[in-house]
Amino acid sequence: MTASPARAKAQDPRAAPAPAPKVHGFLHIARHGAGPASTYVVTYHRLDRDGAPPRPIAAEGATALIELLDRIGVDFRRGEVRGALEDILRLGSANIPDLWLSDQEIIEKGLVDA
């Protein structure tokens, strides 16, 4: 009696590594300057405060900010994100809550000093 290949693969612990645990955090975005020449500073903060300290990332202009947020994986369909973008334009800074990233994703996206 032999196991089918699919079942044998599912039971093999080396077949697929377990997904990395996600860490709860938020992005803080601050605008410096006004108009099209504004610079935006984006900093990722972990809520558990473990790991490497956050590294601020600068985005030159609104288009660069949107591209950076998209690369990080921010979901622009969420109301909190749209509200935060409005607050940045109106008030100069805001937080984008509820970002879940693994340690590897945080490093790959350049959000912490490795």
pLDDT in tens, the chain (114 residues): 455 555 555 555 566 666 777 878 899 999 999 888 899 999 988 888 777 788 899 999 999 999 999 999 899 999 999 999 999 999 999 999 988 888 888 888 888 776
In a domain, 61, yes or no: yes
- pTM for this entry: 0.76
Strand order in the sheet with 57-60: 57-60, 39-46, 22-32, 93-102
Task: Supply the range of the domain harboring residue 74.
Answer: 21-108
In a domain, 16, yes or no: no
Q: How far apart are CA 43 and CA 52, in angstroms?
A: 13
Q: How far apart are CA 61 and CA 52, in angstroms?
A: 27
In a domain, 32, yes or no: yes
Structure tokens at 19: 């997904």
Q: How many CB atoms lie within 10 A of CB 46?
A: 20
User: H or E segment at 13?
Assistant: none
Indicate the number of domains in the chain.
1
